[in-house]
Amino acid sequence: MRVLIVGSGAREHALAWKLCRAEGVDELYAAPGNPGMAGVATCVPIPADGTLELAEFATSLHIDVTVVGPELPLVLGIADEFARRGLAIVGPSRAAAELEGSKVFTKEFCGRHGIPTARSRVARSRDEAAAAVREIGLPIVFKADGLAAGKGVLVCHRADEVESAMVRFFEDRAFGAAGERVLVEQGLVGEETSFMVLTDGSTVIPLASARDYKRLEDGDRGPNTGGMGAVSPAPLPAEVAGAILRDIVHPTIAGMAQEGRPYRGVLYAGVMITGDGPQLLEYNCRLGDPETQAVIPRFDGDLLPLLRAAALGELGGMRAAWKREACACVVLAADGYPGSPRRGDQITGLAEALALEGVLVFQAGTALEDGRLVTAGGRVLSVVGRGATVAEAARTAYEGASRVQFAGVQFRRDVGEAIP
Ligand code: AMP
Ligand code: GLY
């Protein structure tokens, strides 16, 4: 079979690494891919948001299954474009991807289907937001309605933080069209978990448990990022996992079908486990990054039939198996991330890292310049360690990370430890 992976991050590199070994995969393409993916797939220079061009490419090459990494092409309707041409694709339609594309849609959807989530108000102006803050109280969270590359959420514990959020949203208009509507939401307290499932619109298969290290600095301090590390497993008590499926995931899949927006693909629920039970923080319409880098190496068996079945509505009776080993992923980020990352710094030591037992390296913000590998984005590489336990996997990941060098590298030193 011919398989196409859309995207160019470490998440997509992890998928490509897994699929290039999979039985039944004869040809593997990546669009646009990255220098790391070029080692395992044929990279095609079409950007991930070039939905029409991608559909034309997939038609002309008779691609059997396409797997979409990032949210943007899904929110733009890549799955609709492929479906019109009879091409199998893993990912939701544009209407179903609204679960990530609009936080206001998701909030209202939760209301319609009794899905537990924080109390909120929609604000279009500073005055409306101020009224919502008075009503809901602190802590409070400001969220841009639309896609904001993981940066559109500001959690405020104090009045001065509320003031700077107001300025960012309503004076600087920092999030453009995505921030025209702002969700002002009660701040929840508890433990956060990433809960990912694969679904064909009716059958739901949970993926291995994982945990994301979201903030830039150790001890979960500093600004929010796309994710600075991840571990898998991060097991939840069975009753909590059961409650997330029963109260959040299943009502969502059923509700989306009922509303004429059947959801297919990966659904990622960001959940806060509070004293009142699990509450939905956000949905993503795709695999998590960096969670995928820690989850995919643990997948035991053939990934392709499962992905294909999800695309075709044939998941019934299938299951996913996971290796007992643990994985820890440490993200090496460029100087300046999550603001403006510096580019063009030479990266060395990859071969040394890869030579270590149990180390995998997945590339993201990298580029080849005159034959040298250089930094070309915020999150540059994911170094993954495998081990019998999360602690051992993390030690291995840090061994690997210590071999890789580039100027200004930033990474968390506490991946694998409990998040305070
Ligand atoms: P989101 O993009 O909605 O996941 O938000 C990014 C991060 O902000 C989450 O991973 C949480 O750490 C935090 N967050 C979002 N909503 C809330 C909330 N209602 N209460 C507390 N923290 C939140
Ligand atoms: N790791 C969080 C995300 O993928 O959005």
Span 325-349, average pLDDT: 97
Residue 138 placed within a domain: yes
Cβ proximity of 375 and 404 under 8 Å: no
Same domain, 182 and 195: no
Same domain, 220 and 236: yes
Same domain, 179 and 194: no
Domain boundary among 134, 163, 186: 186
Same domain, 197 and 291: yes
Residue in the structure block whose two tokens are 């619109």? 201
- The 8-class DSSP code of residue 29 comes to E
Cβ proximity of 320 and 203 under 8 Å: no
pLDDT of residue 366: 98
Range 236-246 burial, b when 16+ CB lie within 10 A, else e: beeebbebbbe
Residue 200 placed within a domain: yes
The residue whose CA is least distant from atom 5 of ligand 2 is 288
Same domain, 134 and 246: no
Nearest-atom number in ligand 2 for the CA of 291 is 1
Rounded distance, CA 108 to CA 247, Å?
16
Range of the domain at 216: 190-312
**pLDDT one-digit tens code per residue, 260-281:** 999 999 999 999 999 999 999 9
Count of the separate structural domains present in the chain: 4
Same domain, 194 and 306: yes
Mean residue pLDDT across the chain:
96
Same domain, 205 and 308: yes
Same domain, 125 and 181: yes
Q: Is the pLDDT of residue 419 over 80?
A: no
How would residue 86 be classed by pLDDT, with cut points 50, 70 and 90? very high
pLDDT of residue 148: 85
Residue 172 placed within a domain: yes
Tokens of 254: 């059923």
Question: Domain holding 397: CATH number?
Answer: 3.90.600.10
Residue 412 placed within a domain: no
Rounded distance, CA 268 to CA 250, Å?
13
Nearest ligand (C-alpha, residue 215): 1
Give the 3-state secondary structure of 42-61.
EECCCCCCCHHHHHHHHHHC
How would residue 21 be classed by pLDDT, with cut points 50, 70 and 90? confident
Residue 96 placed within a domain: no
Nearest-atom number in ligand 1 for the CA of 103 is 3
Tokens of 357: 């037992």
Same domain, 257 and 339: no
Tokens of 323: 């290796």
Residue 95 placed within a domain: no
Question: Domain holding 32: CATH number?
Answer: 3.40.50.20
Q: Which of 142, 213, 282 is the best mutation target for the ligand 1 pocket, counting ligand atoms within 8 Å of the beta carbon and taking the most?
A: 282
pLDDT of residue 174: 85
At residue 169, the 3 state secondary structure works out as helix
Domain boundary among 164, 186, 208: 186
H or E stretch covering 160: helix 159-166
Ligand 2 pocket (Cβ < 6 Å) reads 150, 212, 227, 284, 288-289, 291
Question: What's the 134 CA to ligand 2 centre distance in angstroms?
Answer: 30
Domain boundary among 151, 186, 221: 186
H or E stretch covering 252: helix 250-258
Cβ proximity of 3 and 28 under 8 Å: yes
Residue 7 or residue 169, greater confidence: 7
Range 179-200 burial, b when 16+ CB lie within 10 A, else e: bebbbbbbebeeeebbbbbbbb
Q: How many CB atoms are closer than 10 A to CB 361?
A: 25
Question: What's the 49 CA to ligand 1 centre distance in angstroms?
Answer: 26
Cβ proximity of 286 and 71 under 8 Å: yes
Tell me which amino acid residue 95 is: A
Question: What's the 153 CA to ligand 1 centre distance in angstroms?
Answer: 7
The residue whose CA is least distant from atom 3 of ligand 2 is 288
Main-chain phi, psi angles of 211, to 5 degrees: -140, 140
Residue 97 placed within a domain: no
Same domain, 28 and 141: no
Q: Is the pLDDT of residue 5 over 80?
A: yes
Question: Domain holding 268: CATH number?
Answer: 3.30.470.20
Angle at 401 between CA 399 and CA 406, to 5 degrees: 145
Question: What's the 317 CA to ligand 1 centre distance in angstroms?
Answer: 34
**pLDDT one-digit tens code per residue, 313-325:** 999 999 999 999 9
**pLDDT one-digit tens code per residue, 145-190:** 999 877 788 999 999 999 999 989 998 888 888 888 999 999 999 9
Same domain, 255 and 216: yes
At residue 352, the 3 state secondary structure works out as helix
Q: Which of 143, 211, 224, 289 is the best mutation target for the ligand 2 pocket, counting ligand atoms within 8 Å of the beta carbon and taking the most?
A: 289
Residue 413 placed within a domain: no
At residue 283, the 3 state secondary structure works out as strand
Same domain, 247 and 282: yes
Ligand 1 pocket (Cβ < 6 Å) reads 118, 141, 143, 153, 155, 185-188, 192, 214, 224, 270, 281-282
